[in-house]
Amino acid sequence: DAGVTQSPTHLIKTRGQQVTLRCSPISGHKSVSWYQQVLGQGPQFIFQYYEKEERGRGNFPDRFSARQFPNYSSELNVNALLLGDSALYLCASTPRGTGAREQYFGPGTRLTVT
Amino acid sequence: QKEVEQNSGPLSVPEGAIASLNCTYSDRVSQSFFWYRQYSGKSPELIMSIYSNGDKEDGRFTAQLNKASQYVSLLIRDSQPSDSATYLCAGKTSYDKVIFGPGTSLSVIP
């Protein structure tokens, strides 16, 4: 079975631009979470979606938004990019929302803001 | 207190030795606990999960959880150079949010 997939792999944007990152969960998984990982730190939770509804939000500004589609894939949008948004953006999927335990990560999208 | 803390690295062990990785957590993190391995430039890979007090063994890996002390550890027996990576400790809150520690870098010296 295919794992979690993310696109694009790498992305370079300039300050003030907007970016959309995409994620497809493991087949059968209905929950998707997004994380930001800055170099040298652990992943920081951004959002969790389950059955197309937001189930959790981390301490990120409103410039960050996300959505989940009927096929359980998800998009993360970041507006008005700042240099500090440069990071590895990770998507993780679990079979279900509440009560789900292990989550599995995709390869990530490396975003560089110049 | 940070929600999930890990002992600062880097940790260096000789090949064949036991590597011991430690993690403590706050009251907010009370549910399941996980250890992830992350190679440089790659995404985290789940290697162990533990939900109840005691030990859980999987091959060369043993996870230990002590909820009274709010402590979780990972032992890697017969360490191999391929185990050289950053190890991330994570815990789930009652709201299903997974919180990661900063990671401990492990280097296994041949």
DSSP state of A80: S
Q: Give CA–CA dist B82/A107, Å, rounded.
A: 19
Which of A41, A45, A88 is opposite residue B98, by nearest beta carbon? A45
Say whether pLDDT at A61 is over 80: yes
pLDDT at A103: 85
pLDDT band at A94 (very low <50, low <70, confident <90, very high): confident
pLDDT at B2: 78
Which of A42, A99, A106 is opposite residue B100, by nearest beta carbon? A42
Say whether pLDDT at A97 is over 70: no
3-state secondary structure of A63: coil
Say whether pLDDT at B11 is over 80: yes
**B99 to chain A nearest CA, in Å?**
7
Say whether pLDDT at A98 is over 60: no
User: Is A41 close to B34, i.e. CB distance below 8 A?
Assistant: no
Q: Which of residues 6-45 of B touch A (CB under 8 A)?
A: 32, 34, 36, 42-45
Quickly tell me which residue has 């063994």 as its tokens: B57
**3-state DSSP helix/strand/coil percent for chain B, to nearest 5?**
5, 60, 40
- On whether the CB atoms of residues A78 and A63 are closer than 8 A, the answer is yes
| pLDDT tens by residue, B47-79 | 999 988 999 999 999 999 999 999 999 999 999
pLDDT at A99: 54
Percent of chain B with pLDDT over 70: 95
Say whether pLDDT at A72 is over 70: yes
Total CB pairs under 8 A between chain A and B: 53
User: Is A41 close to B96, i.e. CB distance below 8 A?
Assistant: no
CA distances from B60 to A25, B78, B90, B91 (A): 29, 7, 20, 22
Which of A56, A90, A105 is opposite residue B97, by nearest beta carbon? A56
